[in-house]
Structure 1
Amino acid sequence: MDFQLTQDQRDLKAGVRDLLEGRFGREALRAAVDASEAPALDRGLWRELADAGFFALRLPEAGGGVGLGLPEAVLAFEEAGRVLLPGPLVATHLAAGTVAGAATGDVVVTAVDGTLVPWLEAADVVRGDAGAATAIRSLDPLTPLHRVPAGQEPPMPEAVLLTAAEQLGSATRTQELAVQYAKERTQFGQPIGGFQAVKHLCAQMLVRTEVARAAVYAAAVTGDALEASAAKLLADEAAVRGARDCLQVHGGMGFTWEADVHLHLKRAWVRAELGRTARDAEEELAAAL
């Protein structure tokens, strides 16, 4: 299977990255975190995403969409994960073809497909039964959460895969942050990246990220539900362990509020518990063997 992106796919990825870095760069991220006592969804940004085709990416052109496929959606969500873009992106994207206003950014959609529901109070439309939902404190300052009783409908394979793509984007970013810091921070007269222990941490981050990337991209091509679960399992590991290793590379600096490492770790922890968890994926894959 050829995992090389086409020129159109590379252009799409670059375009989404430029849009997000320009509209939700580090300054905007930190401003949102500073105001996270009561996190509010940026409706202006939501509509800008819609205008760029983010939610209508897979709708047919005849219906006002972009006319692309699941692989292209994965690339877009990977970039969203890279900048820690907040909001129920996956649920709104998947509802674009069935919920009026979702594709245009006028309606925000969240879904009850596990025991945790993100952005419930900010959503205009809730897919699933959230009648018994109770607000809980979220680890991630930019993802308000509610808990619902177990026994909900399982998540759609596309939802599992797009969440995995967000995790992949975050894993890629923490790997970049670790390597950058390892080159800049000096100790004993040389960059810390020259020490074997730091090299090993960065190398392990790269391996986990690229293994997850192969799984996510393959599942996007095949559309197979089991492969989507496997991709989520690997992407969760790459995002969570990658953020923890990035924190180790940063040393004491990594534990500070000013560094972005903890934001990636907290978002990775939350995403790992959304929809198809590692426990769910392991049981599903084991049953299929």
Structure 2
Amino acid sequence: MRFRLTDDQRALRDGVRAVLARRFGPEELRAAVGRPVLDRGLWRELGDAGFFALRLPEADGGVGLGLVEAVLAFEEAGRVLLPGPLVATHLAAGSVPGAAGGETVVTAVDGGLVEWLAEADVVRGDASGAVPLRSVDPLTPLHRVPAGARVSTGGPVSPGDPVGVLLTAAEQLGSATRACELAVQHARTREQFGQPIGAFQAVKHLCAELLVRVEVARAAVYAAAVTADPVDIAAARLLADEAAVRGARDCLQVYGGMGFTWEAEVHLLLKRAWVRTRRAGDCTESEERLARELLSGVET
């Protein structure tokens, strides 16, 4: 399948990128580190731009677009490490008053964890007894709920719904793309022994592997957005998780010790990728879905 974005889809992607570059650039990213306070102004601006209501029918006050467009928007959000329960709020548009316009922040109990619980106006699932958890990602405050608590339910408003899994994969794809960009940029400008480090074979191989993983994940995520098939989505999630985590690790290798400093954003890409892998549709769930599909036609 040859997949090409339409002019309208490219315009949507570029528009979301422009809004995020203006409102959540590198300086805002660094300022947000360690400050788990959601920017309500940015949240409402995203709502006004239709970010949360992209798939909501026009008759219900939404934009009336499809899953492909939502994937493109969430890819851009992942690229800049935009904080907040984006997936849960997007899924709640149309069922929770104010979610579509960004006035209401929605989070959900997802795999025993809750993101941004203290900042949420509405919580999907049972979060009673939740306790703060030290998050590896300084941009994503977490709470853990007691074992046996009711997770988010309700079909398409649950992060475990295939659409929620795919939107997480899109965020991972955006982060993986950013890691690739940073690695290549650093390899071109950082010099050792009188030449850019990108001239060395080992660094070339790291950058090439980064690009391959990103483009394979991109093809899988975009294809799953077209088919909306749960099995395709499971495969896309596996590839996107791998691209985000391994890509950030390889980017750190290109950066060396600089990548672990607070002045660089590379380690933040890795930490956010780790947190996202704990959401519904993670490696184990997606592998089991694929295994069931592969074995469904096997006679015993």
TM-score category by the smaller chain? over 0.9
1:224 is aligned to 229
2:21 is aligned to 21
Q: Distance in 1 between matches of 2:110 and 2:178?
A: 27
Deviation at 1:257, TM superposition (A): 1.6
Instruction: Identify which range, 222-231 or 148-157, moves more after superposition.
Output: 148-157
Change in Cα spacing, 1:196 to 1:276, as seen in structure 2 (3 Å) is same
1:180 maps to 2:185: yes
2:65 is aligned to 68
Opposite residue 20 of structure 1, the aligned amino acid is L
**Candidates 241, 246, 250, aligned match of 1:241:** 246
The SS at the match of 1:112 is strand
Residue by residue over 1:5-38, the C-alpha shift from the partner in whole angstroms, topping out at 9 and shown as x without a partner, is 11110110000000001100001101111xx1x4
2:166 is aligned to 161
1:279 is aligned to 284
TM-score (normalised: structure 2): 0.93
2:156 is aligned to none
Q: Distance in 1 between matches of 2:215 and 2:75?
A: 13
Identity value in percent:
74
Opposite residue 50 of structure 1, the aligned amino acid is G
2:198 is aligned to 193
Moved over 4 A (4+): none
Residue by residue over 1:24-67, the C-alpha shift from the partner in whole angstroms, topping out at 9 and shown as x without a partner, is 0001101111xx1x411110110000010001111112222111
Residue by residue over 1:70-123, the C-alpha shift from the partner in whole angstroms, topping out at 9 and shown as x without a partner, is 000000000000000000000000100111110111110011231221111111
User: Does the CA-based 8 Å contact 1:25-1:83 persist in structure 2?
Assistant: yes
Aligned residues: 286
Deviation at 1:167, TM superposition (A): 0.3
Change in Cα spacing, 1:150 to 1:202, as seen in structure 2 (3 Å) is farther
1:31 is aligned to 31
2:144 is aligned to 147
2:298 is aligned to none
Which structure 1 residue ranges, 5 or more long, are not aligned?
none
TM-score (normalised: structure 1): 0.96
Q: Distance in 1 between matches of 2:220 and 2:293?
A: 17
2:274 is aligned to 269
Deviation at 1:229, TM superposition (A): 1.5
User: Does the CA-based 8 Å contact 1:90-1:162 persist in structure 2?
Assistant: yes
Within 5 Å, give how 1:192-211 maps onto structure 2: 192-211=197-216
Opposite residue 19 of structure 1, the aligned amino acid is V
Deviation at 1:150, TM superposition (A): 5.6
Opposite residue 82 of structure 1, the aligned amino acid is R
Which structure 2 residue ranges, 5 or more long, are not aligned?
154-158, 295-300
The SS at the match of 2:110 is coil
Opposite residue 242 of structure 2, the aligned amino acid is E
